[in-house]
């Protein structure tokens, strides 16, 4: 079985660690981790060529097709995003925009996906809901979703009462 993990964090942080932890739990699965911040993804210019003529006519040349090929070759996909300002990260949104033509020509009906959002306190539910909704429209089947909240290093080092004081200021 092959699983592609797509990480929308701009760094090798919590999402990266959890994705690696998942890999360690399933040594028999062939995982491929794609860090969106290490890939070339141009900004959509809104020309609608992908929708009206076909995605092969997109004027942008970047790693979009490579990612689509990886998804095509996989049995499942894990989408991971940090919560940024109560939603998915800009990187994840950017990626979803690059493959947005799939909303008009869905595919991958035999693929399952999991969504994973990691925040510091709020918004992982909204982020997961968004990724689940959009990738379902793209044709994939949502299998599960996981919301995690991980305190920052700074928060972890504070005693509970001090944490409360800081938040009430």
Residue 84 carries which DSSP code?
A: B
* Contacts (Cβ under 8 Å, ≥6 apart) of 2: 29, 30, 31, 32, 73, 74, 75, 76
Q: Is residue 34 involved in binding ligand FMN (CB under 6 A)? A: no
Q: Which is nearer to ligand FMN, 15 or 71 (CB)?
A: 15
> Between the CA of residue 12 and those of 36, 50, 64, 69, 81, what are the distances in Å?
11, 32, 21, 24, 12
> Which region, judged by CB under 6 A, interacts with ligand FMN, from 13-21, 52-60, 99-107, 161-169?
13-21
CB of 12 to ligand FMN, least distance (A): 8
Q: What's the CA gap between 91 and 156, in Å, rounded? A: 27
> Which region, judged by CB under 6 A, interacts with ligand FMN, from 44-52, 64-72, 118-126, 155-163?
118-126
Q: Which is nearer to ligand FMN, 76 or 119 (CB)?
A: 119
Binding site for ligand FMN (CB under 6 A): 9, 11, 13-16, 82-86, 118-123, 150, 152
């Amino acid at each position: 079985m092959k699983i592609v993990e797509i990480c929308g964090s701009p760094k090798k942080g919590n999402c990266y660690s959890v994705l690696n932890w998942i890999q360690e739990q399933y040594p028999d699965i062939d995982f491929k981790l794609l860090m969106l911040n290490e890939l070339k993804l141009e900004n959509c210019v809104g020309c609608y060529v992908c929708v009206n003529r076909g995605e092969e006519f997109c004027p942008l040349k970047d790693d979009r097709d490579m990612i689509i090929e990886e998804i095509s070759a996989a049995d499942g996909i894990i989408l991971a995003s940090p919560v940024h300002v109560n939603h998915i990260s800009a990187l994840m949104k950017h990626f979803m925009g690059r493959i947005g033509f799939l909303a008009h020509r869905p595919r991958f009906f035999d693929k399952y996906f999991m969504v994973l959002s990691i925040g510091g306190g709020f918004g992982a539910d909204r982020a997961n809901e968004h990724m689940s909704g959009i990738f379902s429209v793209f044709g994939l089947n949502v299998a599960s979703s996981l919301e995690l909240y991980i305190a920052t290093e700074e928060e972890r080092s504070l005693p509970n009462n001090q944490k409360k004081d800081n938040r009430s200021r």
